[in-house]
Every structure is written in C-alpha cells, then in structure tokens.
Amino acid sequence: MKIVLLPGDGIGPEVIAEARKVLVRTGEKFGHHFEFESCPIGGNAIDDFGDPLPPQTITACKSADAILLGAVGGPKWDDPNAKTRPEAGLLKIRKELELFANLRPISTYEFLLDSSPLRRDIVAGTDILFVRELTGGIYFGESGLRQEGDQEVAWSTMTYSTSEIERVVRIAAEAARGRRKKLTMVDKANVLEASRLWRRVTARVMKEEFPDIEYDVVLVDAMAMHLISRPTAFDVVVTENLFGDILTDEGSMLPGSMGMLPSASIGSDGPGLFEPIHGSAPDIAGKGIANPLATILAAAMMLRYSLKLETEAAAIEAAVDKVLEAGHRTGDLARGGEKSIGTTEMGDLVVAALG
Ligand code: IPM
Ligand code: MN
C-alpha cells in the first residue's frame, strides 16, 4: 500500500516521523507492507518550488492509497502581500482530490478531563462526530475586490448546489447509523439563502433515505453556545465549510488538548487525506516537545477509512490509550507538577505498546 506523507511546516515533520514509526510497526505486526513517499506542501514548498502545492505532489497524491499530512504555515509566510500562501496548498489538494467531507471526531478521555477548560461535569461523556463540508461554500465561491471612489470593496460568496449538500449529508447520516443514530444540521437559515437550500435538501434526504435517524437543525450562533453548555447532547453534526471550520476549533477545546484530535478528509473514491486538527505550532517547532498523538490517531483513521484495516486501526488507538493510562504526558497534557516527555519518547512508547 502506498502512503504519501506530506510533513509540511513547523512541527509537521516531527509529528509525521512518529506516525510513520507507528505505521511501520503496525505493518510488521499485522503483515502489511506500507510504502512511503514524502512530498513537499506549504511554506517549505513555496521556498523550494515557488508553489505551496507543486505538481509532483499532486501527481503522487493522486496515485496513492492514502495521504497523511502534518501541518502547513508559519510566520515566515504570513506576509499579506505575498503572491501565495501555504494554506492555498491545503485548499488546492482538498479540491484536486474532491475531499468534500471532513470528519472531525471529538471525544473525551476520562483521564484527561481535568485538562479541559470546561468543568468535568459538562464535558464528561462528550462524543461528537463533526462532518464539515470541505470543498464548497465561501472558501471556494466567487470573490473579488474593486475600487469604488476612495473605497475598496471586497466580496466573498457562499455558494452551494443540491448535489454538494446531498453527498456530504449522506456521509454524515451513514456515520450516524453506525453510532447513536442522531444527526444535527447546523446553518444560518434565518439569514442566508445558501442555508435555506441546505435546510430543504437535508430535510428531503433524511426523510427519503434515513427515516431511521433522528434529525434536527440548530442555528450556528446557538450551536456555538450549546457546544460548550451541553456538548453531550450531540452525536453527528453536519455543516457547511466555514461554520465547520469555526465550530470544530471551538469543539477541539472540549477534550482538553488539540494535540489529541485527528481528522479525515474523504471523497467518493480515491485516496483520503488524514491529518491532526492542530496547526504547525511554529512557537514550539524544532524543540522536540510537540504531542504526536493527534497525527498517530490520524494514521489510525487512515487505516480504518482508506485502507479498510479496522483491526490495525483499533490496535493503534488501544496503544495510545495504554500509554496515556500509564500516565505518560507531553507538555500540552501535563498538569502542574506532572512530568512531561518529548515527541520521540511519546512515539516510542506507542510503538512499544503495540507490542
Ligand atoms: C483547517 C484550517 C484550514 C481551513 C486553513 C489552514 C486553510 O484552519 O483545516 O481547519 O480553514 O480549512
Ligand atoms: Mn480551521
């Protein structure tokens, strides 16, 4: 099986190296051969090729079975007047591979509950699967800038078609079938025409194809509130691109650390792209202290969704649980007085826990 690694910028290469170790050990243990190819993306690709997503990276990704990404971006490439940005590489790979559904599971670990900024009694038991639409909406709609007298006027448009909504709703509803059979669709239908289309299409798909799934709608502003006041009320949440971007950052705080959360971007066929939710964390890059667990868990999601290796995925997740239960913590998870370990130590512990 061919896996393309996109280490990217900042802590990306450090956390990808640990996930790779874990995959190699998983392959040995279960008798699979993973072939790895590393390709440039993001800021380093701008430096070396003048392009955040060089053509050779696209070609390699298209012929891969799955893709594992670290993170892109950093202050070095933040100049607002720059011709291109690292993030453009990420948006382009999503579009090129039609990765229209972004799955972001947010669940809590009992032994990390006290690392959450919210009270234990509020977050305990949270288990949400966010399904964020990833290749449409305001991220990809018509946009522009024009001069009107002495004023600059800029616009960005949120555009959705029936089929773009249907396909992501189906993925979310299917996922709900394998969980607690509840789907919440988040929109802003009291204001936005695009949201009113989401509401009509989702209601029809749910009624015709998923009558067994409990379905409700919540406005995005209210959702921002419910997410931190009663997070255990939700099972699967489906929403458009920008709302999903914002709500999943908010949701990522529930379990205590962003350093634990993986995500999967998938399309109808072709390779999926798997990555940690966190960014490139330039402030700690190169220090060897980043938490590699989100990327290791993203590798587990990759085995599950793209390579159909459920047992192997579960083995990685169990190994991560075991290491955390034994009390090992990277700096982001350690609380006052607790000893913390580095990135490679954490990776080695997961490899050892795999047996
Ligand atoms: C994410 C990120 C990206 C997004 C950025 C880096 C373009 O925030 O994956 O959530 O907005 O989609
Ligand atoms: Mn984001």
Tens-place pLDDT, residues 80-115: 899 999 999 999 999 999 999 999 999 998 888 888
Cα–Cα distance list, 149 to 145, 146, 153 (Å): 13, 10, 10
Annotation says 65 is catalytic: no
CATH fit for domain 127-253, picks 1.10.10.10, 3.40.718.10, 3.30.950.10, 3.20.20.70: 3.40.718.10
- CA atoms within a 13 Å half-sphere pointing along the CA-CB vector of 198: 31
- What does the pLDDT read at residue 150? 98
Mean pLDDT across 297-305? 97
**Cα 159 from Cα 240, distance rounded (Å):** 10
As given in the structure block, the two tokens for residue 28 are 């040995």
* Strand 66-71 with 143-148, pairing: unpaired
**Per-residue DSSP letters for 270-298?**
S-EEEEESS---TTTTTTT----HHHHHH
Instruction: Note the CATH number of domain 1-101+260-355.
Output: 3.40.718.10
Ligand 1 contacts CB of residue 245 (under 6 A):
yes
Domain pair 1-101+260-355 / 127-253, same fold: yes
221 as an active site residue: the answer is yes
Give the Cα separation of 45 and 7 in Å (integer).
11
Among 139, 160, 215, 305, the one annotated catalytic: 139
Task: Compute the Cα dihedral for 48, 50, 51, 56 and give only its sign.
Answer: negative
The three-state secondary structure class of 217 is strand
Ligand 1 and 345: CB distance under 6 A: no
Element (H, E) at 265: strand 262-266
Q: Is 245 a catalytic residue?
A: yes
Q: Please name which of 288, 346, 291 lies closest in space to residue 319, comparing C-alpha atoms.
A: 346
Choose which residue among 53, 69, 87, 243 to substitute to test ligand 1 binding: the one with the highest number of ligand atoms within 8 A of its C-beta: 87
CB distance 235 to 128 below 8 Å: yes
CA of 85 to the centre of ligand 1 (A): 12
Determine the pLDDT at residue 109. 86
How much of the chain exceeds pLDDT 70, in percent? 100
pLDDT the model gives residue 334: 87
Using the predicted structure, report yes or no on whether residue 311 has a pLDDT greater than 90: yes
Whether residue 257 has pLDDT greater than 90: no
Ligand 1 pocket check for 87: Cβ under 6 Å: yes
Q: Which residues contact 47 (CB under 8 A, 6 or more apart)?
A: none
CA nearest ligand 1 atom 3, residue:
87
Residue 301 has pLDDT above 90, yes or no: yes
How does residue 280 score in pLDDT terms, banded at 50, 70 and 90? very high
Determine the distance separating the centroid of ligand 1 and the alpha carbon of 121, expressed in angstroms: 30
Q: What is the mean pLDDT of the segment spanning 272-297?
A: 96
306, pLDDT greater than 90: yes
Mean pLDDT for the stretch of residues 215-221: 98
| Centre of ligand 2 from the C-alpha of residue 202, in Å | 24
Alpha carbon nearest to ligand 1 atom 11, residue: 245
Half-sphere exposure of 44 (CA within 13 A, CB side): 17
Query: Predicted confidence band at 66 (pLDDT cuts at 50, 70, 90)?
Result: very high
| Alpha carbon of 277 to ligand 2 centroid (Å) | 8
The residue extents of the domains of the chain are 1-101+260-355, 127-253
Strands (E), 108-162: 127-133, 143-148, 151-156
203-213 pLDDT, tens per residue?
A: 999 999 999 99
Backbone dihedral region for residue 143 (phi beyond 0: left; psi -120 to 50: alpha; all else: beta): beta
Q: Is the pLDDT of residue 25 over 90?
A: yes
Those residues whose C-beta lies under 8 Å from the C-beta of residue 218, and which sit 6 or more positions away, are 184, 185, 186, 226
Q: Are 14 and 76 in contact (CB under 8 A)?
A: no
Task: Convert the pLDDT of each residue in 119-134 to its tens digit.
Answer: 999 999 999 999 999 9
